[in-house]
Amino acid sequence: MKKLVENFPAQLRGAITIGETFRYNQHSKPIRNILITGLGGSGIGGTIISEIVYNECPLPITINKDYFIPKYVNDETMVIVCSYSGNTEETVQAMEDSIARGAKIVCITSGGKIGEMAKSKNLDLITIPGGLPPRACLGYSLTQLFFVMMAAGFVGDHFKKELENSIKLLETEKASILKEATELTDFFIGKIPVIYAVDGYNGVATRFRQQINENSKMLCWHHVLPEMNHNELVGWTENHPELAVILLRSKTDYDRTQARIEISKSVFSKYTPNVRECWSKGTTQLERSIYFVHLTDWVSVLIAEKKNIDATEVNIINQLKGQLAKI
């Protein structure tokens, strides 16, 4: 897993090459809404892109992480199906229902049942390299989502330059990223991570939590501002020295939200001595998001290394799938 994290910039380069070959087939009806369906490492790209294109895409985007799809999905919906293995049972069922309703389907997968269905029904398909843990392939899946959205006419092509800038940033900042990741690893060891981000980076914070769960084999939680100021902040009323709070911040965060962060920090600090900030780098939201993803991915694998555990192992998930297969 450590090697896969290290290769993230190269994966982004390969993903751009794959995306450039995609050809979108126009649908018979105008598209009026978008559903991105996928779970776990396969689905987090949908959450991230929905926030990045929030002020650009003219259509509503819904992120689906279940067996079932919303009632509104019909022949004027574009459904982007994301499953790295192509066998995620929730996503397979959601895809089958979307096909039955006449939706425009685009699949992003390495193969499996979803790849087979896409080929047999002549659906739009982007095939990405297989054989890796899904969570290690965000560079492939997120990049393809941008190419699909551009091909359908819902975003411009500026993301390509931003991806190139992101790759250069990660390579240029490699030493400083590893330094900060090592410091954050020491900060989190023996504690329960609490991740806070601003609205617009919920996907990034979710990704960090998921990587801590899967790679570091630890529980943690996350929330976003300003929403947490209307609920979770009230929960900070007792001493919790076992908690380690990390605030993911950017210089471009809305000024009123910046003020909320400063006030919230003073509350956290009353109840835990472990409060730290992590500042993004990059000139656009996409660049800053990718920077955060890479930095926090490093943290998750370095924690695993520090704990002397296998970051790749997900035995409990495999046990769950085995039990479900018997039903």
Contacts of 171 (CB under 8 A, 6+ apart): 9
The predicted structure's pLDDT at residue 116: 98
Residue-number span of the structural domain to which 249 is assigned: 173-307
Instruction: Work out the burial of residue 169: count CB atoms within 10 Å of its CB; fewer than 13 is exposed, 13-18 middle, 19 or more buried.
Output: buried
Q: What is the pTM of this model?
A: 0.95
User: Please, which pLDDT band fits residue 202 given cuts at 50, 70 and 90?
Assistant: very high
Q: What single DSSP character describes residue 188?
A: H
Nearest-angstrom CA–CA distance, 120 and 114: 10
User: Please, which pLDDT band fits residue 114 given cuts at 50, 70 and 90?
Assistant: very high
Q: How many CB atoms lie within 10 A of CB 271?
A: 16
In the chain, alpha helices (H): 2-6, 8-20, 40-52, 89-100, 112-120, 138-151, 158-172, 174-188, 202-214, 255-271, 285-307, 315-325
Q: How many CB atoms lie within 10 A of CB 225?
A: 23
Answer yes or no: do 21 and 144 share one domain.
Answer: yes
Contact 225, 196 (CB under 8 A): yes
Nearest-angstrom CA–CA distance, 101 and 98: 5
Phi-psi region of 308 (alpha: psi -120 to 50; beta: other; left: phi over 0): left
Answer yes or no: do 218 and 117 share one domain.
Answer: no
* Percent of the chain predicted with pLDDT > 70: 100
Instruction: Dump pLDDT digits (tens) for 278-290.
Output: 999 999 999 999 9
Contacts of 122 (CB under 8 A, 6+ apart): none
| Nearest C-alpha neighbor of 168 from the set 28, 16, 326 | 16
User: Please, which pLDDT band fits residue 327 given cuts at 50, 70 and 90?
Assistant: confident
Domain count, the chain: 2
Q: How many CB atoms lie within 10 A of CB 167?
A: 20
In a domain, 131, yes or no: yes
Answer yes or no: do 186 and 153 share one domain.
Answer: no
- Above 90 in pLDDT, residue 315? no
Active site residues: 214, 230, 321
Give one DSSP letter per residue of 22-81, joined into a string.
--PPPPSS---EEEEE--HHHHHHHHHHHHHTTTT-SS-EEEE-SS---TT-STTEEEEE
Answer yes or no: do 234 and 270 share one domain.
Answer: yes
- Above 90 in pLDDT, residue 293? yes
The predicted structure's pLDDT at residue 316: 85
Answer yes or no: do 203 and 133 share one domain.
Answer: no
In a domain, 88, yes or no: yes
In a domain, 315, yes or no: no
Contact 224, 282 (CB under 8 A): no
Answer yes or no: do 196 and 91 share one domain.
Answer: no
- Above 90 in pLDDT, residue 94? yes
Mean pLDDT of the chain: 96
Question: Encoding tokens for residue 133?
Answer: 């843990």
Contact 273, 244 (CB under 8 A): no
Q: What is the CATH number of the domain that holds 223?
A: 3.40.50.10490
Contact 293, 204 (CB under 8 A): yes
Instruction: Dump pLDDT digits (tens) for 4-56.
Output: 999 999 999 999 999 999 999 999 999 999 999 999 999 999 999 999 999 99
Answer yes or no: do 236 and 196 share one domain.
Answer: yes
Q: Could you give the 3-state DSSP secondary structure of residue 245?
A: strand
In a domain, 322, yes or no: no
Q: Could you give the 3-state DSSP secondary structure of residue 206?
A: helix
Answer yes or no: do 30 and 145 share one domain.
Answer: yes
Answer yes or no: do 187 and 155 share one domain.
Answer: no
Q: In the beta sheet, which residues pair with residue 77?
A: 33
The predicted structure's pLDDT at residue 7: 96
The predicted structure's pLDDT at residue 249: 98
In a domain, 32, yes or no: yes
Answer yes or no: do 17 and 82 share one domain.
Answer: yes
Nearest-angstrom CA–CA distance, 205 and 194: 10
The predicted structure's pLDDT at residue 318: 86
The predicted structure's pLDDT at residue 325: 87
Nearest-angstrom CA–CA distance, 47 and 200: 10
* Percent of the chain predicted with pLDDT > 90: 94
In a domain, 288, yes or no: yes
Instruction: Dump pLDDT digits (tens) for 218-256.
Output: 999 999 999 999 999 999 999 999 999 999 999 999 999
In a domain, 112, yes or no: yes
Q: How far is CA 136 from CA 7, 25, 118, 153, in A?
A: 10, 29, 23, 28
